[in-house]
Structure 1
Amino acid sequence: MAADKGITTRIALRAATLQFSDLANAARTVAKQCLLDCIGVAVAGRNEPLTRMLREDALDAGGHPQSSVIGAGIKVTEEQAALINGAASHAHDYDDVHFAMNGHPTVPIAPAALALAESRSKSGKDLLTAFAAGVDTACLIGRYLGQSHYEAGWHATGTLGAFGAAAASARILDLNPEATARALGIAGTQAAGLKCQFGTMVKPLHAGHAAATGLTAARLAKRGFTSRTDILETAQGFAATQGTSASVERFERALLSDSHLPDVCFKYHAACYLTHSAITATRRLVSEFGIAPGDVTAVTLHVPRGHFSVCNIPVPATGLEAKFSLRFTTAMALAGRDTAAIDAYTDSLTREHDLVALRDRVTVEARDDERRDTRVDIHVGSSVRSQEIDVGIPATNLDAQWESLSRKFHALVDPAMGHAAATRIEALCRHLEGESDLTEFFTLLRATA
């Protein structure tokens, strides 16, 4: 599979031959940070109604107890664990993002890798390598497809996440490049997720479905299940039917990166990531100029036009919808409300008079340039205070990022599992490459308080 081969086969070769030793220290560190963060948000989402329904459905269906459901005290089949943990970890929309794939990389990929690593008794290095292969695959495909796939209404977490989960699962199962290409083909024909479902239980289902789809695709490929091995680039294939902007040149540039993991961005507000720049800019202006909510006459947000199809619900009626409302999350920031706590976004919050009044003072205007930053203009009397921020810049100080993620993790996990268990899980994640036996790790993940 040299450079003259197709897109799919080249991605498959890269995933199938990736070794832990190929990963630079930054990629290894961010991979471990992604897993820690995923576990934290999965614990936070374990008792959400959507997670309970999926868990109950799995138990009703039955099957071999192969892989752990995080924080539930049970094992289910590999596919069921991938589905449930994937959905649970996206239930609060508090998980990491990657702009190369225009979506959330960890929640569709890690649950598949975790499920197989547990059932197949793999090591920490095996798990990290597979996860890295999965994230790399999703990002390479995202770069190849360009913006049109997401802009057309496809939720890339569900679509590209299925490819990533297939690559990670194929790596766990030690599939060769040809079988990995077939796994990508099997996953690609099932990849799904529509952005019109944002603000409903189906959005987190996309992540779980992608994880389970990718896992099953790799298992079938291992058995010899046939598929096209050029699913991405062939006529009537994925790129041809799911977008209009595929570019081999852009793909070639993406291949120059040894790993896309260091470009993962983590969330510290439990809302859509595209609201975070506005939240951060608003908080800075309020702090710097001592702006009180009652002093605000108007607020204008200047955002990329793409935000309008993702997080511009003008009048949210539920807590879930509030997470996808630039106007409402900005109102929360103006009022000094907590935007980090998972229980901050309630249905009743959307009806609070002071927040509704602030929300109605916020106007969102679209920009048509390529920039990702958000500018916030707060009008106070005859004055306008402005701040321009892009929070989508990956961290370079990974030690500081560990500390931020540790605080977030303990805030989510300590109340559910206790500080001692949370501390041990974090310690194992920080040194996962040294764990040849992950039995303790999965026992802790499965445990309930």
Structure 2
Amino acid sequence: MTEPAAVTLARHFSSLTIDRIPARHLEDAKALIADWFGVALAGSRTESGAIVRRFAMETGGSAEAAMVNGGGVRVPAVHAAFANAIASHSVELDDVDILALYHFSPPVVAAALAAAERAGATGAELLAAVVGGCEAMARLSDATNPSLRNRGYHTTPTVGVFGAAVAAGMLFRLNEAAMVSALGLAGAQASGLMEMYGPSMQKRFNPGPAARNGVTAAVMAALGFTGAATILDGERGFCRAFSDGFDPVPLTRGLGEEFPIFIEYKAYSCARPIHNGIDCAIDIRRQMGAAGVDGIRRITVRRHPTWAHYHQIPHPATHHEAQVSLNYSVAVALREGAALLPQYVEEKLRDPAILRLSGMLTVVPDETLPRGVSCHMTVEAADGAFFAAQVDHPKGSIANPMTPAEAAAKAHLLGDPVIGAEGVDRLLAQIRTVGTAPRAAALMALAQGAP
């Protein structure tokens, strides 16, 4: 009889060390950690970041791990993972997979850094754990999506809890049996719904429980609490419960030889499937000239049916809602040629010129577009002229990557107001050599400074 997938995966992850991971994936892990810190530093200054940090401090407990911009205050690792995951998802600039279904770093990196502090782990152990956690997320998403998303589940937390459990379990040096239990206990806590778009902070919350619950699962397994080995592919396991189209093959295909981890990065401060529209808007703005934007008569956006019915919010009520609004994001990009944090502030939501453009956008499903996130945009100008652009691979994608200089500039844009330019430079330098660092906790220590 075929053994449960959780057993096969646990054997792999409990023995995965840095020397067994291809160099390119270790470099990807460093880039992911660097991007996470920039985003988390900016997120720590948001209202949602401040609230969750207050929650962690007021709840209290053992001083095990630090929170980004927490002034050196240490809290239990489960609380640190919770707070840091929410902070890193609070400015809509965190990484994303190639299908724009989920974010790797909020659950995995947040859990890994907290667990590394609790365990006193090395930098090499941290890198391996981040790769392992990302691999777990990727395999589970490949096995259950797009059905999981289409049923209304949010992929980031639902598969992220397993990634967080794997990362924490590797840092706690769990053996195979304990890793099986960690996966089982993670599945018992899997949750997260796509009913998160709107004016509230709901979307920011989702990765928090995933990171916290993953660390909880690994801690409980280390203490001897056992979990179900059939949690993934059992008759009533995660994959069948969360997906109508479960495919077991990706769970273990090429295990130990292939790491199906494909990470992309955000150049704009909003939901990833919107980025193609922003790239189109910026291209059209360049074609027609900034002076012609105010005379635009009509905006038609063709989106692949995969995402055509999402993000249609003509008049967002808060900046939270604006960051998941295709209409607003296209409008502000046409007006200002950018879509970063300064474009998603409350006063912009009342700008008549932006509101006019946002209200006129029409979305048309088009299954001929080559990718789920593809976008084709047509704009009619005041003189009747038409301008068009199509983007299949947005800026920051694997096919259209950000340069190292652009990635560093993003980290500085987000991190400089929190820890200063020199602080960000020191943090980025430490991440580049983290594989040889005796203490992974040095990274979080560098993120506690002040400008």
Unaligned runs of 5+ residues in structure 1 are none
**Distance (Å, rounded) in 2 between the aligned partners of 1:150 and 1:345:** 26
**Which TM-score applies when normalising by structure 1?**
0.93
Equivalences for residues 41-190 of structure 1 within 5 A: 41-73=39-71, 74-99=73-98, 102-190=101-189
Aligned twin of 1:363:
362
- Secondary structure of 1:335's aligned partner: helix
**Distance (Å, rounded) in 2 between the aligned partners of 1:222 and 1:256:** 24
**Distance (Å, rounded) in 2 between the aligned partners of 1:279 and 1:188:** 36
Residues 430-439 or 301-310, more deviating = 301-310
Give how far 1:420 is off.
1.3
Aligned twin of 2:414:
412
Superposed CA offset, 1:283-342 (max 9, x none): 1122134362133211111112232454222321111111111111111111125312x2
**Which TM-score applies when normalising by structure 2?**
0.93
Give how far 1:34 is off.
0.6
Q: Alpha carbon RMSD of aligned pairs, Å?
A: 2.1
Structure 1 residues 320 and 254: alpha-carbon distance in aligned structure 2, compared to 1, 3 A threshold: farther
Superposed CA offset, 1:98-143 (max 9, x none): 1368200111110110011112211111000001000000000000
Give how far 1:402 is off.
2.4
Aligned twin of 1:38:
36
Equivalences for residues 143-292 of structure 1 within 5 A: 143-199=142-198, 200-251=200-251, 255=255, 258-261=258-261, 263-290=262-289, 292=292
Structure 1 residues 440 and 250: alpha-carbon distance in aligned structure 2, compared to 1, 3 A threshold: closer
Contact 2:9 2:252 in 1 (8 A): no
**Distance (Å, rounded) in 1 between the aligned partners of 2:127 and 2:76:** 21
- Secondary structure of 1:376's aligned partner: strand
Matching residue's letter, 1:351: R
Aligned twin of 1:377:
378
**Distance (Å, rounded) in 1 between the aligned partners of 2:179 and 2:385:** 59
Q: 1:27 aligns with which of 11, 25, 28?
A: 25
**Distance (Å, rounded) in 2 between the aligned partners of 1:172 and 1:397:** 33
Matching residue's letter, 1:433: G
**Distance (Å, rounded) in 2 between the aligned partners of 1:249 and 1:124:** 32
Aligned twin of 1:425:
427
- Secondary structure of 1:178's aligned partner: helix
Aligned twin of 1:303:
303
Structure 1 residues 165 and 439: alpha-carbon distance in aligned structure 2, compared to 1, 3 A threshold: closer
Give how far 1:254 is off.
6.9
Residues 193-202 or 410-419, more deviating = 193-202
Contact 2:393 2:399 in 1 (8 A): no
Unaligned runs of 5+ residues in structure 2 are none
Matching residue's letter, 1:297: R
- Secondary structure of 1:35's aligned partner: helix
**Distance (Å, rounded) in 2 between the aligned partners of 1:81 and 1:317:** 31
Structure 1 residues 335 and 343: alpha-carbon distance in aligned structure 2, compared to 1, 3 A threshold: closer
- Secondary structure of 2:376's aligned partner: strand
Matching residue's letter, 1:7: A
Aligned length: 444
**Distance (Å, rounded) in 1 between the aligned partners of 2:352 and 2:193:** 32
- Secondary structure of 2:403's aligned partner: helix
Give how far 1:447 is off.
2.9
Q: 1:435 aligns with which of 417, 426, 437?
A: 437
Superposed CA offset, 1:347-377 (max 9, x none): 3322210001111221111234662211111
Give how far 1:251 is off.
4.2
Superposed CA offset, 1:383-414 (max 9, x none): 3322211235843798x632221000011111
Give how far 1:445 is off.
1.8
**Distance (Å, rounded) in 1 between the aligned partners of 2:404 and 2:116:** 24
Structure 1 residues 75 and 310: alpha-carbon distance in aligned structure 2, compared to 1, 3 A threshold: farther
- Secondary structure of 1:299's aligned partner: strand
Residues 342-351 or 264-273, more deviating = 342-351
Matching residue's letter, 1:301: V
Contact 2:8 2:252 in 1 (8 A): no
Matching residue's letter, 2:296: V
**Distance (Å, rounded) in 2 between the aligned partners of 1:59 and 1:143:** 37
Structure 1 residues 154 and 99: alpha-carbon distance in aligned structure 2, compared to 1, 3 A threshold: farther
Structure 1 residues 47 and 394: alpha-carbon distance in aligned structure 2, compared to 1, 3 A threshold: closer
Structure 1 residues 71 and 428: alpha-carbon distance in aligned structure 2, compared to 1, 3 A threshold: same
Matching residue's letter, 2:33: L
Aligned twin of 2:389:
387
Contact 1:170 1:183 in 2 (8 A): yes
**Distance (Å, rounded) in 2 between the aligned partners of 1:396 and 1:299:** 27
**Distance (Å, rounded) in 1 between the aligned partners of 2:241 and 2:189:** 13
